[in-house]
Structure 1
Amino acid sequence: MEFKSSNPYNGEEVGVYTALTKEALVEKLNKSQIAFNAWRKVPLSERCSLLKKAGQVLRDNIEEYAQMITLEMGKPIKESRSEVNKCAWVCDYYAENAETFLANEIIKTDAAQSFVSHDPIGSVLAIMPWNFPFWQVFRYAAPTLTAGNTGLLKHAPNVFGCAKQIEEVFIRAGYPRYVFQNLIVHHDQTETIISHDTVKALTLTGSERAGSAVAEISGRHIKKSVLELGGNNAFIVWEDADIDASVKIALTARMLNCGQSCIAAKRFILVEGIYEEFVTKFTNAVKELKSGDPMDENTTIGPLARLDLANQLNAQVKESVAQGAKLLLGGTQNGCYHEPTVLGDVVPGMAAFDQETFGPLAAMIKAKDIDHAFELSEKSKYGLGVTVCTKNTEKALKYAHKVSDAAYFINELVKSDPRLPFGGTKKSGYGRELAKDGMMEFVNRKTIYVKG
């Protein structure tokens, strides 16, 4: 079987990749176990040094990697460079903090000594998506490999070029062979991989459907999983907010990566006193975005990553309009390109409110007051994050308990940061990535007790 990746902007072929045979796949899995037996014994200081080198490899080859991201999934080239730089940041972060995170945790008991150690568990499988093809992988790989585990990557087929380059980053940095391996396989091989004795745990970033399927398989084989799934983030604007500043934040929160982000702001819940002003200014700001070739330095909106994604978004737009939403801007589709779109008067029950919209579509929702805004925010099966814009940050902090999502940002878009735990609640998944929490997901927290 062959996989082809193509440029969503012009349809040109980017690369062709041959799937592993069943025998070759098993060989790679076995080599991952052999590599783990040696890698776990490498001093932590050396593992941190190698991770630091990986960050430098990313910076030294930023144009090569950024171009592959843009060619395969259509992200504007400036955003692709930012993604590569963020990967280097997460490498630096764990290289500098791993020794603290993995240190023995002393706990006073009746014992002469009692503490918790942090041991690696083995090979960890990552099933990763196409929307941030480098970042999603590095935010798992940096802590997981540095803790002494080995890594196996099953990437999305349309970004296998990125997957190949990621494996090469670790090779260039000097990692031992087979510590990190890219697996070019069809999704029907997923259970074969998860069930293999080598694989001790897995992490998946993807759709709710994919997460459910993989969680079922991992549960059947009693293997730990971390899931980071879809989102339908609310962006709440109070009447006292700085509207111009809020619009600027909102534009990035919705249109970054052409709106193809689980943590993008998707539902803009506006207290009615500022609804018209915000909608007008936001719509005007969207009109200023420059669509075009994502390799062009001036492009801010590229195509969606695949035709089926653009088709799905356009269907959600049409369905929402048929349900009573007002089309304020955009709404047209041309192949993989979907025009940035703003819908007004969106209410619960409409596709633009209830469903995750993965693309440049902003749903404007009117709230009677602050309490109503939070009630609307909670009308979602997802739980990644919420933004609140207001000048009264002290009051906003008091509302944090009303939010069941895993993140609550005041006057800033919801975003991932290596220093802060990242994950979701409800249908957005479970477990945490990044910060110390992300490193603790794939270690054996072993209790040590010494009497007398």
Structure 2
Amino acid sequence: MTEYAVVDPATGRTVREYPLISDEELDSVVGTADAAYRQWGRVTSAAERAAVVRRVSELHRERRDELAEIIVREMGKPLEQALGEVDFSADIYLYYADHAEEFLADEPISLADGSGSAFIRRSPVGVLLGIMPWNFPYYQVARFAGPNVVIGNSILLKHAPQCPESSAAIEQIFRDALAPEGVYTNIYASNDQAATLIADRRLQGVSLTGSERAGAAVAEIAGRNLKKVVLELGGSDPFIVLSADNLDEVVEGAVAARMDNNGQSCNAAKRFIVIDELYEQFEQKFVDRMRGITPTDPHKADAELGPLSSSAAASNIEDQLERAADQGAQVLTRGEPSGTFVSPAVLTDVTPSMDAFNEEFFGPVAQLYRVSSEEEAVELANATDFGLGSYVFTTDPEQAERVADQLEAGMVWINTVLGDAAELPFGGVKKSGFGRELGRLGAEEFVNKKMIRIAGTTPAGS
């Protein structure tokens, strides 16, 4: 049976199909990964592991054009954005290579009685499973694999079924970087096989980026089997505008934050909450700008919006828009869809009783809300089950921090968008998941923080 296939969303053409791994092959792969960990994580030094990961970074840069072309073909990402994703992935691997020894250094503990010494020693835990989504085929893998390979864990990577070519390319990069067999393995596994794998005693943890439904399913299986799990799920990020010196710049930031990756980003701005005195100007400028964006061939250098990732993704967005309109939302702009090419849409008058108020729109759809105060803006921003990212635009620094403190989100961006970096932790709260990736915190999830206490002479008079 074939589940994995490259289907070019721009043309609908099936480029290549890939067979599922057999149960016998999967069992062998797990055994190889477990054996690899026992050498890679327990014998090799952090510096040796860092050297391999540094070479992984270099190979991403050397194969930049080839890698970018693959994901344009797999999921329709505009070419310039695809190139940017490859670059960012290379940055992430390099970051963890550069900081490997620092992040794994012993951490001394100050003892109350002053007798002897104690410290925390960080060590790997074993074989990990990564279940990755299609929207950022390289970046999502880098932020999971980068820190964990440096730590000494071994990786089994189950990518999205529509990303088999990019997942194979990543595995080849690790091989060419001279990672030992079993340290990083791509598997074309079914969901049922993944469930069996999570229950395998040789597997020590799971990281999933995906939908709320997938996260709940994986967390349930992991919980039954007492496995550590990190989840990065959906988002309905608020973009709050309270004041502005240059509203045009704020609008450009809003459009960029909504349209990145064809609107298919978990931490994209999706709900635009604007103070009353700026609302009408913001609405006019924002709608005009969104209306002027036309879906086009993702290979074009100036492509701002390509196709959605699949016909199913396009159908889902159209269904959400139809239900929103039927339930009373006002549609300020919306183009006619053409296959997987979906024009930007902007909604207003969305109320809590509507599906649109509670759903995540994974595509080029924005919702506008008018508020009369900072307090109302915060209340509306938090009126969601999600809590991934958030954006605050204001000319008042004290207000910015005050609002940031009140937002129920894992990340807050103040007066900036698209500012992700390898050193900045990424993750959310509520139904957006738990755990962190990137930054130092990304190297703290799947690690044994082992306490070691060494006896000493008890001080005189104690």
2:34 corresponding residue in structure 1: 33
Decide which of 50, 72, 95 is 1:48's aligned counterpart: 50
Rounded to whole Å, the distance in 1 between the matches of 2:240 and 2:54 is 39
Aligned: 1:305 with 2:309: yes
Of the structure 1 ranges 254-263 and 167-176, higher mean CA displacement relative to structure 2 is found in 167-176
CA apart distance, 1:239: 3.6
CA contact (8 A) 2:104 2:121 kept: yes
CA apart distance, 1:49: 1.2
CA contact (8 A) 1:263 1:414 kept: no
CA apart distance, 1:349: 2.7
Deviations 1:278-299 (A, max 9, x none): 1111112223324211122221
CA contact (8 A) 2:129 2:203 kept: yes
Aligned: 1:421 with 2:432: no
DSSP 3-state at the match of 1:417: coil
CA apart distance, 1:388: 0.8
The one-letter amino acid paired with 2:259 is M
The one-letter amino acid paired with 1:380 is T
Q: How does 1:41-440 map to 2 (within 5 A)?
A: 41-109=43-111, 110=113, 111-240=115-244, 242-413=246-417, 415-440=419-444
1:445 corresponding residue in structure 2: 449
CA apart distance, 1:241: 5.1
Deviations 1:355-391 (A, max 9, x none): 1000000111111221111110010000011101111
Rounded to whole Å, the distance in 1 between the matches of 2:184 and 2:245 is 47
Rounded to whole Å, the distance in 1 between the matches of 2:140 and 2:438 is 11
DSSP 3-state at the match of 1:269: strand
2:460 corresponding residue in structure 1: none
Rounded to whole Å, the distance in 2 between the matches of 1:414 and 1:378 is 21
CA contact (8 A) 1:241 1:389 kept: no
DSSP 3-state at the match of 2:162: helix
CA apart distance, 1:304: 0.7
Aligned-residue identity in percent: 39
DSSP 3-state at the match of 1:262: coil
CA apart distance, 1:350: 2.6
2:23 corresponding residue in structure 1: 22
Give the TM-score normalised by the residue count of structure 1.
0.98
Shift in alpha-carbon separation, 1:152–1:304, aligned structure 2, 3 A: same
CA contact (8 A) 1:267 1:353 kept: no
Rounded to whole Å, the distance in 1 between the matches of 2:176 and 2:286 is 44
DSSP 3-state at the match of 1:115: strand
Rounded to whole Å, the distance in 2 between the matches of 1:200 and 1:232 is 31
Give the TM-score normalised by the residue count of structure 2.
0.96
Of the structure 1 ranges 255-264 and 167-176, higher mean CA displacement relative to structure 2 is found in 167-176
CA apart distance, 1:414: 6.0
Deviations 1:168-205 (A, max 9, x none): 11111111111100011111111111111221001000
Rounded to whole Å, the distance in 2 between the matches of 1:348 and 1:276 is 22
The one-letter amino acid paired with 1:273 is E
Rounded to whole Å, the distance in 2 between the matches of 1:230 and 1:374 is 20
CA contact (8 A) 1:152 1:182 kept: yes
CA contact (8 A) 1:47 1:146 kept: yes
CA contact (8 A) 1:254 1:362 kept: yes
Shift in alpha-carbon separation, 1:23–1:74, aligned structure 2, 3 A: same
Shift in alpha-carbon separation, 1:152–1:199, aligned structure 2, 3 A: same
The one-letter amino acid paired with 1:151 is I
Deviations 1:284-326 (A, max 9, x none): 2223324211122221111111111111111111111222222
The one-letter amino acid paired with 2:383 is K
| Aligned-pair Cα RMSD in Å | 1.2
Shift in alpha-carbon separation, 1:409–1:47, aligned structure 2, 3 A: same
Rounded to whole Å, the distance in 2 between the matches of 1:38 and 1:102 is 17
Structure 2: which 5+ residue stretches go unaligned? Answer: 457-462
Of the structure 1 ranges 258-267 and 334-343, higher mean CA displacement relative to structure 2 is found in 334-343
CA apart distance, 1:331: 4.6
Deviations 1:40-90 (A, max 9, x none): 111111111111111110000001100011100000011000000000000
Rounded to whole Å, the distance in 2 between the matches of 1:223 and 1:15 is 35
Of the structure 1 ranges 168-177 and 240-249, higher mean CA displacement relative to structure 2 is found in 240-249
Of the structure 1 ranges 39-48 and 150-159, higher mean CA displacement relative to structure 2 is found in 39-48
DSSP 3-state at the match of 1:338: coil
